[in-house]
Structure 1
Amino acid sequence: MGDTVCCRISYSDFVKTFTHLEVVHLDSDTSRDEPSLHHKSTWQMRLYQGAWQRGVSAGGCRNNPDTFHINPQLHLILSEMEEVIVSLNQHSIMEPKVIGFTAYSLPKNNSETIGKQFFKKNKSLVNSQYTNSRQVSHRCQLEQGGYLILPTTFEPGQESSFTLRVYSSKPLKLKLLDMQPSLIKSAIIKAPATLDGKSFSQYEAVFLQLADEHRTVNAFELQELLDACLPNDYIKSCACMEVCRQVVLTLDNSGSGRLKFSDFKDLMCSLKYWQTSFKNHTKEKTGILKAERLRDALLEVGFQLSTDVLSILILRYMRKDGTLRFGDFVSAILHLSVAFNLFESKDPLQNGSIKQSLAEWLKSSLTC
């Protein structure tokens, strides 16, 4: 039996030979397969798998104060003071993004998504390096309590899926903060009775020219009416046939597919209200809403949306340049109005859940 060969290298030679040293932390599942680690204490690990989606959750780093808050917000709760390791992995292999994360102190009992103003008023507690490597890790000592972690790309609007892991030797909790969908107020504005006179007289003449013998208009006639009544191309973007059909489905309570003049007045008042909200969030360029601001604009109108719902709206309405026009905004409002109204009509006790037959489901889906 030959002698055991032992290879050694001096520290000075090691430094000359190697440029990088990577240390791998094994979680409890992985370490089970390594006999030499059986007597060692194991890591507690929590993870979140998510994605940065343009217009929804790709807000970029802290250098982008207007969009930073839309990044995924993860609430970390530590039961006692502990050294933790936060590790962020991106799943973009061919075209890796520059990634990193930032952490803030946050009370344990917080369950709501944190708004833009919080990040403008509060200093960050932990800042990782930003690099285009597959993984970014940071080890830090944290007190017992709650923390908010935002994994981000360096630039806003960059898309990729990711996994964030937090390791600790003590118990910990990690959860995503998100909004629950809710209708805060009706987005449809009823025309005040005082507007029956001169304010709408100019519209009424055109309305009656296009209306049938029952003084109602369908979607095709509504399109002609809006084209004649709306003041400019900016707001006329909502006069397309698709939006007109949605207007009829939203405002027609009779199921006839036609609108009365009172419905038209409600529409005109609503359009004015929606236009104000739209303009409040289109600071750089009139008539163009950045997709990242859609959630805040819809919240002003009356819709509180979860990330999943917002993601569907962005996929449906965002244009190639990452923006929405006023017509897109109106269409989104109408879709949401019908969806919330249909649900509330089936949930009189406000339990937050409903039962529908296949026929009812199809009708509801097609109406939205």
Structure 2
Amino acid sequence: MTFEDFKVHFDKVEICNLTPDALEDSTAHKWEVTIHQGSWVRGSTAGGCRNFLDTFWTNPQIKLRLTEKDDGQDDCTFIAALMQKDRRKLKKLGAEMLTIGYSIYESPGRDGHLGKDFFRYHPSKARSKTYINLREVSNRFKLPPGDYVLVPTTFEPHQEADFCLRIFSEKKAITEDLDENVAIDLPEPLNPSPQETEEEKQFRALFEQISGKDMEIAAEELEYVVNAVLKKTKNIKFKNLSLISCRNIISLMDTSGNGKLEFSEFKVFWEKMKKWINIFLLFDFDKSGTMSSYELRSALKAAGYQLNNYLLQLIVLRYSDEEFQIEFDDFLNCLIRLENASRVFQALSVKNKEFINLNIGE
């Protein structure tokens, strides 16, 4: 085929190479290469570009440490190549190439997943030249030695795909995924005070009215009590708690194992409930009675649960709706299940705080 014929039939050429070394005949110079596989998942890690600050920080984050200057230079040279995976394979299912790119931020002395406020107050040090709907976006950079965070994103939030990020550096660079280690910080169970507050006296009167002399209530009665109290609470726009939620509350708080809640157990639970309500209201930014699933990481951390991306994605899939919103009833169920699982784990992890051994009965 002549070059003129080639120009008639083709309008774009993509030159593929495994590494920059493949373009050179000399073997004297070799690039250092690190590869990171990741995913943008709707509702948890598909935050879109910096234009969408409220969700941008939830994107996957890769730490990049540049330690050695180029020979005879003051800076470190590297190439960042971001590739979206399997889009051609998925084309027959209607998938198109997404518009992708990345930003690079200086982050000295910072570990763990960076939050919204970091990106609010820190400008990027470098970025891909453009966001474009190509299979791969790559650029060459020169930056001073130091610690950086690279944030790969789609242009729009809520767009789902797998990606591969490759870092090529002239000198050895250290990279790692910035994901949270799973950690649990549960407060010790509260002991009810013998002195009842005015609020507790009102609860007791309502409790006695419903439970009778035994002062114990089942899930159906608990549903009535909790919803009656929430309706009288100012600044709360929650829908009624479901019967399933009330059964889960009893499973968490019922120490006697009779499937009912005593008043003393209800008092302990209500202290938890007030804390969880305040956390939910804190992250219900538009006061709509729902919370964005992208804020779930921060909300759970405020409640004592630091989760990694994988666990967060599973929870979002379970508890958020199609608009990536979480109602208080679902948030409550999530916290109850997490606390139940955490307390069981803590009870069984006597020798090792990271692992437990279970027999079939357990």
Query: What TM-score comes out, normalization by structure 2 length?
Result: 0.84
Unmatched segments (≥5 aa) in structure 2: 70-75, 89-94
Superposition pairs for residues 67-78 of structure 1, below 5 Å? Answer: 67-78=55-66
CA distance in 1, matches of 2:183, 2:322: 29
Deviation of the 1:212 alpha carbon: 6.2
- Percent identity over the alignment is 31
Contact 2:237–2:288 (8 Å) recurs in 1: no
SS at match of 1:245: helix
Q: Deviations over 1:228-259 (max 9, x none)?
A: 33316956635211111110111112222221
Contact 2:238–2:289 (8 Å) recurs in 1: no
Q: Please name the residue that 1:243 is paired with.
A: 245
CA distance in 2, matches of 1:294, 1:187: 23
Does residue 52 of structure 2 align to residue 64 of structure 1? yes
Superposition pairs for residues 321-360 of structure 1, below 5 Å? Answer: 321-349=323-351, 351-360=353-362
SS at match of 1:67: helix
Superposition pairs for residues 1-368 of structure 1, below 5 Å? Answer: 22-27=14-19, 31=22, 37=25, 39=27, 41-81=29-69, 82-91=76-85, 92-93=87-88, 94-107=95-108, 110-128=110-128, 129-186=130-187, 192-194=193-195, 196-211=196-211, 214-231=214-231, 237=239, 239-349=241-351, 351-360=353-362
CA distance in 2, matches of 1:270, 1:118: 30
Q: Relative to structure 2, which stretch is displaced further, 289-298 or 299-308?
A: 299-308
CA distance in 1, matches of 2:191, 2:303: 14
CA distance in 1, matches of 2:96, 2:189: 45
SS at match of 2:202: helix
Change in CA separation of 1:316 and 1:296 when aligned onto 2, cut-off 3 Å: same
CA distance in 2, matches of 1:235, 1:250: 25
Q: Which amino acid aligns with 1:138?
A: N
SS at match of 1:208: helix
Contact 1:344–1:350 (8 Å) recurs in 2: no
CA distance in 2, matches of 1:56, 1:274: 21
The two structures, once aligned, show a CA RMSD in angstroms of: 3.0
SS at match of 2:53: coil
Contact 1:105–1:148 (8 Å) recurs in 2: yes
Contact 2:346–2:353 (8 Å) recurs in 1: no
Change in CA separation of 1:8 and 1:159 when aligned onto 2, cut-off 3 Å: closer
CA distance in 2, matches of 1:206, 1:90: 58
CA distance in 1, matches of 2:245, 2:351: 32
Aligned length: 344
SS at match of 2:246: helix
Unmatched segments (≥5 aa) in structure 1: 1-6, 361-368
Change in CA separation of 1:17 and 1:84 when aligned onto 2, cut-off 3 Å: farther
Contact 1:227–1:236 (8 Å) recurs in 2: no
SS at match of 2:150: strand
Q: Which amino acid aligns with 1:116?
A: K
Query: What TM-score comes out, normalization by structure 1 length?
Result: 0.83
Q: Deviations over 1:90-117 (max 9, x none)?
A: 123422221100011233x643221222
Contact 2:49–2:155 (8 Å) recurs in 1: yes
Q: Which amino acid aligns with 1:104?
A: Y
Q: Relative to structure 2, which stretch is displaced further, 268-277 or 241-250?
A: 268-277
